Each structure stands twice: as C-alpha cells, then as structure tokens.
Amino acid sequence: MAPTGLLATLKRLFGSAPALSPEQEEELRRLHLERCHNFKLLLAANNRALEVMSDMEEALRGERAFGAGYVREACTRVASEVFAMVRGLTSLAPGRYDGLLPRFRAIQAEINTAVLAAPVPASGPLVRPLADLAAADLDQAGSKLANLGELARALGATIPRGFAVTAAGFARFMSHNDLQAEVDRRIQAADASRLDELYALSSSLQGFIASAPLPPDLEAAIREQAAALSAAAGEGLLLAVRSSAIGEDALGATFAGQYHTELGVEPDEAVQAYREVVAAKYGVTAMTYRLVRGIPDEAVPMCVGVMEMVDAAASGVAYSRDPMRPADGSGGRLLIEAVPGLPKAVVDGSAAVDRFLVDRDPLALARVEAARKEFRYAPSAGAGLDRIPLAPEEAGQPCLDEARVLAVARLALAAEQHFNGPQDLEWAFDPAGRLVLLQCRPLKEAAAEAAAAPPPGPANRDLPVLLAGGVAASPGAGAGEAFAARKDADALRFPPGGVLVVAQALPFWATLLSRAAAVVAERGSAAGHLANVAREYGVPALFGLPGALAGLEGAGLVTVDADGRRVLPGDATRDLPRRERPRNLMLGSPVLALLEGAARHIVPLTLLDPSAPDFAPEGCATLHDVTRYCHEKSVEEMFSQGADLPLPTHAAKRLSVDGRAMQYWVIDLGDGIAGQVEGKAVPLEQIASAPMLALWRGMTAAPWAGPPVDAKGFMSVLAGSASNPDLDPGAASAFAEKNYFMIASDFCSLQSRFGYHFSTVEALIGDEDAGNYLSFRFKGGAADHGRRTRRAEMIAELLEELGFRCETKADALFARMEGYGRQFMEERLAALGHVIVHTRQMDMAMADAAQAGAFKARLLTDITGRLGVRPGP
Amino acid sequence: MSESMKVLLIDDEDDFRELLGKRLVKRGLVVSTAASGQAGLDQAEGGDYDVVVLDVKMPGMDGLEVLRRLRKMVPDTEVILLTGHANMEVAVEGMDLGAFDYLMKPVAINELLYKIQDATARRRLRLGRPA
C-alpha cells in the first residue's frame, strides 16, 4: 500500500536522506508514538460502542423497563464513540477514508429522525389508577408505581388501591401560572454554593410550591380519584402519598430516600399532600444531589402515587436474593426482614427486625432470627404513624409464621422471574391476612453476581456433560455435529446444521451462522460482533469456554446448552427444560417503538466479509457496520503504515548482551528503557518492554542450524563487528543487516532484514485483552519464485497452527492475532521470534513440498519443545 | 504522566464544578475553574492547559460557542464536553468541532479521569512533550 498524505511527505523528507537531523529524528519518534496512542484510543472507542449496542439489544428484548431518556442517552453515547472511531481512522490514514464521514452523517440523520419522534410524556391523562399501569408506563408514572401496576396486572398480586398523578399532571401543575419559570428564576438568583443560601432557597421553593394553586382540571381529577377510593374502602380510609421519580433508569442514579412520603393523609387532604410531595423535589438533600451529580432540574419530573395505607398486621421487605450472599452455592437464598405493624423500622433501620432466610429450590424456610421488638407502628390520621408498645409475650416472637414467610418468598420469586432479575420488595399482611405488595424495584448489586452463579437446572443435573463454563452469548440450546474450525479455509467444509467450534469469536465466522445449529468459542464476549449476529439469527452461542476445540473436535453429535453454559453429548435438546422466553415488559409501548426506530440504524451488522467488494464506506448501513469497518481498516493501516514510516534511527542505542554488542538497535518511544543509558549501548537488563523481551527470548532460545552458518556458533551471528561499516545504523547499505527494535513498555516493533528477506513484527500487549494485537509481515528471499512462495506458505501453515490468521500472496505473508490475554500473546511473540531467526535463507532448501513439510515439523518441535509454547489457537 | 495534568473546568453549576475540582485535585491533577464561558476563555488564553472540561449548556455564551473559540485560540488544548442533556446532534457537532469526547452527567469520576488522561496523552504526544 502506498503511503499518502503526511507519510508521503515524510518519506520525501526523510526517506532518501542519508542522515536525519536530531529534530527530524524527534519528529519521527513522536509520530510513531502518536500513531500508537491513536490506535489505542480507537480500539477503546470500538469496545465502548459495542457495549452500548449490546445494551440496546438487551433493552430491545424488553427484559427491563426503560424510558425515552434511555433511548436518547444510548444513541448519543454510541454516536460519540463511533464518531471518535471515524476520526481515529482518518488520522491514521489521512485522505484515504474520506467517504466514511458522509456515510456516518447519513446514518446519524436517520437515527435523529427516529429519536425526534419521541413520545411526549407530558401528554396523556393527568391521573391514572395504579391497577391500569404497566412497566412500560415508567415515563408517565415513574418506575416505582409502574412496577407495582405491572405485577398486579401480570401476576395478580394484591396492591393497595390508589392512583398515580402522572408526569403529564406534574407538567400541568408546573406550567400553571408559570410556576416552573418562577422556580428557575429563584434558583438562578441564589448562590447555591453557600449552604445557608441553599437552605434558604430550598425552604422558599418548597413553601412556594406547597402553597401554589393547582390548575382546576388537575385538582378536580385528584379529588375525584380520592373520593372514589374513599367510597371503595369505606369509613376511616387513610392514604399514603409518595413520590415516584422518573429518570432513575436513564441516569443510572438512585434517588432512594431523597424524596418524601406523606402518611396518614385523609382523602380530602390529598391535594395538599400532593403539593407537599412535589415540593419535596426541592428538599436540600435532593437538590444537592442533583447539583453535585449535574442532573438538570427538568430531567426529573415528579410523579406521585396516592394509595390506601394498609393497616398492617406485619410487614417488611424481601430480597429475592440475599444481597450479602447472592450466590453461596445454594443458588442464592431469599432474605425477608419483618416487623409487626407497618414497616418503618425495616425501611429506616431504626430498630431490631426479624430475619428469615429461605432456600430457593425447593422453597423452604432455612433459618429464623427473631429479634426483640418493642413497638409496632399503625396508621394514624394527621400524625401519620402511631407507635404502639408490644405486649411482652409478643416482643420476642417471630412476627411471621412459616406459611406467611413462604407466601412472601413466592411473591418475591415471581417478581424476580417476571422482571428478569433479583428484586427488592416491600410488602404487608393486612388485617384480613392478605399479602399486599407495596413496592418493587430491582436489586442492582446482586444482579451481576447472580448472573455468574452456577447454572440452575435441578431437573437434569445428572445429564453427562462434555464441557461446562463460559458465558451465554446468545440464548437457547442447539444440537448438531461438532465441527472444529481452525483456519479460514475450514469454513468451506462446514457441514450445514453443524455446531461451529472456534478458538476466537471473530466476525469472520458470522458468514457460517445462518447454517449453524450453535456456536462455541474458546474466547470472546457477549458484547462482540459474532455474539450480536448469533443473537440476531437466534443461534445459541456459548463463548469463553476454554478447551472447546480439543474437547469437541471429533465429538460427533453434541448439544450446546447456552443457557446452562455447558455442552452435552448427543442430542439432548429434548431433555432440557424448554426455555421460557423472558417476556418483553415494553411490548406495545411507544418507548419501545422509539428504540426500535433508532436501533434499526445502529445495532444490526450487515458488513460481514472484509474481502467482499461492498466492504466499503458506501456499504455501511448501520453504525455497527461503521464500527466494524473502522476496526478492520485501522488494524490494516496500523500494520501497513508502521512498515512504511521511516525509523528515527539516530536516537538508536545498540543492544548489548553480557557485554557483547548485538546487531540490533533499540529506539525507545518513551518508557521502554529503565533508567539512564550511558553511552551508545543499552544492556538487555535495562529493557523494560515486555513484548520485546518475549520476542528476544524466542529469537535466542535455540541456536540457528540453518544452511549458511558454520560452527562459529550462534551468538557470533547475532554479534557483529563494530568495524563493519555495513552495521553502522547511519549508513545506507543494501546489504546491511539493519535490525531495529522500537519499544515502549507495552509495545514492540522489530523491523529486520535477515539475509534477503524482510520482516516486521509488531506487538501491543497491555492489561486489556481486547486491545492486544500481534502482526507479522514477511517478504522476499533470494531463491527462485517457487521456493520463496513455498516458504511463505509453509510459515503461514505453521502460524495458523499457533492460532494466527494468515494471508499469503506469492512470497509475501501477512499474519495477525488480536484480543488474547498477555501470557498467550507473549508466547506467540516468542514463537514469531523463533520463526524470523530460523527461516532465514531457508527458501534455498524449499525444493518441494516434502522438504517444506519437514522444515515445518522441525520448527514446530522447537517452538513447543524449547520455548514451551502450547500449540493450537 | 511525567508532569501533572493541567485541567480547566468550565461549568456554571457551582456545586458541581467545585466538587469535581476537589476530586480531581485529590487525584493529583492541577485544576482551575471558571463559572462562565467568557471567564473560561479568559483563563484558557496562555494557560497551557492540557484539557478543558466544558459544560455544554450555560447561560450567556453556550458551550459549543466556547468550544469554537477555544479551538481557534488554543488549538492544542483538548476539550471534553460534559453535559446533563443527552443530545446526539450536539454531541456529533461538538466532536466535529474537535472536541475529544462527549460525556454525560452524572459521570463516574474514574471514567472522566481516564478520558482526561487519554486526552492529555494525545495532546502531549502531538506537541512532542513527555506524556
């Protein structure tokens, strides 16, 4: 590939010059470093873009509820990251990808049109009965109330009678008499950084809102609803009026405990209580919270729930998984905390409570920890709560019997199943003994760990298992003949309906998925390209399963149980429990339609084959395509241009080993050498570049036994005479063996000319597997074309056995590997070191395929034997 | 980083700005703050900042206008946009104007810190200074 733009200028400037000025040297060094950094930034943006896309996919399945705010935020994040990638690629290769930005713009415009079609939550009814709400109504009623309605509707759970004053109701209130404008004015005028002013502001705003008149239609709606409640419940009804904020899901922030609940409210006081709860939005704690986290005032509409207060016999909270021990081998017990009366002590932690631990499967009471309780709380008109002393014989008794504990546990489990994750419930038993659900929200901390818990499945625990572990990258189970694909060419032999087994979940394999029953990869994540396509096609996928290639090759018919994270022999699909597809909580909601409209231009991957003619900016239909394109091309540019850039050889230090000068020079890009270097040589001990050390180990582990060496020994080949002008790094000589390491602590590039072939190794190996890459380019030789080609092909075969992806074109070879962990990459780097040293002039001996095969076998033996490199990808 | 990263925070929300500033100082950054776009521009001139963290929505001169002027005035300084409003158009427009990235409030302090590090490294590499 010909260098363009900046690089061409550099070549013109520096390429032919016999010597560079120190300034030019420094400029070159800087360019190399900058290029490395830009590449790392691009890879990081790639990973984040894919994470957001897979999160959007999850949202599309409706396994959790979300609002319009989430859609806007996800689109914004993904657009920023993809833009950063486009820019990164453009700076790696100026002028070469000019078509990409217009394409990105066009896709972005389509997303924008879809997002602008956002439903306006401020429209719609001002009040809604709780029983009519569903999870998808969170933009109207806040997630707290929406969840309550959802469980009543979907599970038949008993919830308190009541209604929500919606976001539309709130908007109506705040626009009446320009209430919001006045609030904004007062906030603007105050100096909220001073605590005394903040208190004064808070108090003035709360007083202002608590006394503001309601618009007549809203007031009438609330009175009408409250009267209806009163009529249904009879004499003595008391209400609880509580906030239900919007925005918690979108902002990832929790407002728990920041707002206000009015208890013991008489029905005809509901309007005033509503005002008080809205006013609590401007409480000092809540305002400070928004200010320090930078959450705009208008992003938090206050929805309010007005519901009957249950005169509880006993009440409390339930965690569908013990938050302290989400997965302790028991599959996660349930934890229930309870008190006699209303749950005040449980919620605010102000007094001792009874604790019940419940086994999940089979459901059974495992442990009771009864506390000594002194009071119970009961509803009280005006004051909210009455504190009533408990009789001594009641104080030490558990407040729930086993039947009631199990009833609560069943409700918690049902809620967990319905909302596809652990839940935190508030509940009460009313005087008639009915279990009433008061609140339900996701238990966030536990969710992630629970997902990593050992697979459930009591019904089929005794099925034989071939392999177990990994992550379910695409759900379901599928059976077929196991087919281990090690190199690209294996794709042609893939049997339709087979189970594809690969080392790495590379996008390349996506072309086979439409014909596969399931896919297994030793490495890869649920957020990668291949996982995305597998989910789109509905092909079960199990990734991150070590030993899959060796364990499944030749295993015949197997079943991949992605949900159970295991592979079973034979066709076991009948024996597996039918997976209940998690219900889509957002089905039919305008917010889901909004996300679908936007995601259509973001999530699908249509650009699969980098060698296809439509693998071009014009072929990008979605942001995922742009991401894929940028990733592929940036790797290509990184590798190809690395070789094209001239080297800043002037600053090079000569490598010395045990006091002997080597024929290698080291260019430090920043942090590749430890300590100060005196003079012109750098001892090996001072090299602080892990990739260089790995490569060097491979180059020096075995003495070279190739044709042109005599008995003088191996080190004498590496060591050169200082008097030989060909070895002077500054001198341009066609025959010079000029070998340069360019290093940083996590980077190494070696350009070398061994005999008559030219090779480049580049490695970036850091703490993040996803950013790791290795590349190897090899070309040339002195023998005839046939022999040279045979050598390139032989090396490609060898490297493929070690897990590299290779391309050969005549006598040129290009091999690469990416995304593996540090140890694995360093082993492969050592193997490359061995290969570049031991293939020199081997082309001479490549008379036929048999000889090539023998060489390959010998190289592989040395690599596995002397270097301790495990074969296989 | 061989030398402390030098950052300017421009945000009209006093609480947010001061708290964020304190947290970044605790992590070893040299931090200055400005309460408006104009004050930020005055401070940025000749300040040799590695990174400006800029609020998009401010009374008076809005963030994108500040960004435009910063790019002209101190083109080497990287700008990270930070906003309470998820707006894709503004995000892309900002990045097109040369912003390093677009982050949304509330932002995790470490996420912001990593962005500042990446942006600083990019600037110093471009200028040929030790990163």
Cβ-defined contact of A293 to B131 (cutoff 8 Å): no
Chain B residue with the nearest C-alpha to that of A75: B88
Residue to test with chain B: of A292, A297, A298, A747, most B Cβ within 10 A: A292
Chain B residue with the nearest C-alpha to that of A39: B122
Residue A252 has pLDDT above 50, yes or no: no
Q: What is the pLDDT along chain B (131 residues), one digit of tens a residue?
A: 568 999 999 999 888 898 899 999 999 999 999 999 999 999 999 899 999 999 998 888 989 999 999 999 999 999 999 988 788 989 999 999 999 999 988 888 888 998 999 999 889 988 888 76
Residue A10 has pLDDT above 60, yes or no: no
Chain A residue with the nearest C-alpha to that of B124: A34
Residue A26 tokens, joined: 């420094």
Residue A245 Cα distances to A138, A146, A156, A271, A286, angstroms: 9, 11, 25, 18, 11
A127 — pLDDT class (breaks 50, 70, 90): very high
Give chain A's domains with CATH numbers: 5-120+592-642 (1.20.120), 135-308 (3.30.1490.20), 314-451 (3.30.470.20), 459-569 (3.50.30.10), 652-865 (no CATH)
Residue A172 tokens, joined: 């109506």
The Cα of A212 is separated from the nearest Cα of chain B by a number of Å equal to 27
The residue type of A255 is F
| 3-class SS of residue A624 | helix
- The minimal CB distance from A296 to the residues B85, B89, B101 is found for B85
CB atoms within 10 A of CB A31: 19
The larger pLDDT score, comparing residue B129 to residue A259, is at B129
- The minimal CB distance from A295 to the residues B89, B95, B106 is found for B106
- The minimal CB distance from B16 to the residues A84, A250, A291 is found for A291
**pLDDT score at A220:** 96
**pLDDT score at A449:** 38
Cβ-defined contact of A34 to B125 (cutoff 8 Å): yes
Domain boundaries, chain B: 6-125
* E-assigned strand segments in A47-197: 127-129, 162-165
Here the ipTM equals 0.89
Q: Which CATH class is domain B6-125?
A: alpha beta
Cβ-defined contact of A296 to B84 (cutoff 8 Å): yes
Choice among A333-342, A364-373, A647-656, A664-673 with the minimum mean pLDDT: A647-656
Residue A795 tokens, joined: 């090396």
DSSP state of B106: S
A293 neighbourhood in chain B, CB within 8 Å: 16, 105-106
Q: What is the C-alpha to C-alpha distance for residues A755 and A752, in angstroms, rounded to an integer?
A: 9
Model confidence over A130-152: pLDDT tens digits?
999 998 888 889 888 999 999 99
Residue A726 has pLDDT above 80, yes or no: no
Residue A497 has pLDDT above 60, yes or no: yes
Residue A820 tokens, joined: 């593996």
Contact A110, A654 (CB under 8 A): no
DSSP state of A378: E
| 3-class SS of residue A606 | coil
Residue to test with chain A: of B53, B88, B89, most A Cβ within 10 A: B88
Q: How many CB pairs under 8 A join A and B?
A: 95
A112 neighbourhood in chain B, CB within 8 Å: 88-89
Residue to test with chain B: of A34, A187, A601, most B Cβ within 10 A: A34
The residue type of A63 is E
Closest of A349, A396, A80 to residue B92, by C-alpha: A80
A420 — pLDDT class (breaks 50, 70, 90): confident
Residue A464 Cα distances to A141, A171, A361, A477, angstroms: 49, 60, 22, 15
Contact A406, A429 (CB under 8 A): no
Cβ-defined contact of B95 to A44 (cutoff 8 Å): no
- The minimal CB distance from A37 to the residues B13, B16, B125 is found for B125
Model confidence over A162-178: pLDDT tens digits?
999 999 999 999 999 88
A502 — pLDDT class (breaks 50, 70, 90): very high
**pLDDT score at A609:** 79
Residue A616 has pLDDT above 80, yes or no: yes
CB atoms within 10 A of CB A864: 15
The Cα of A740 is separated from the nearest Cα of chain B by a number of Å equal to 22
**pLDDT score at A844:** 63
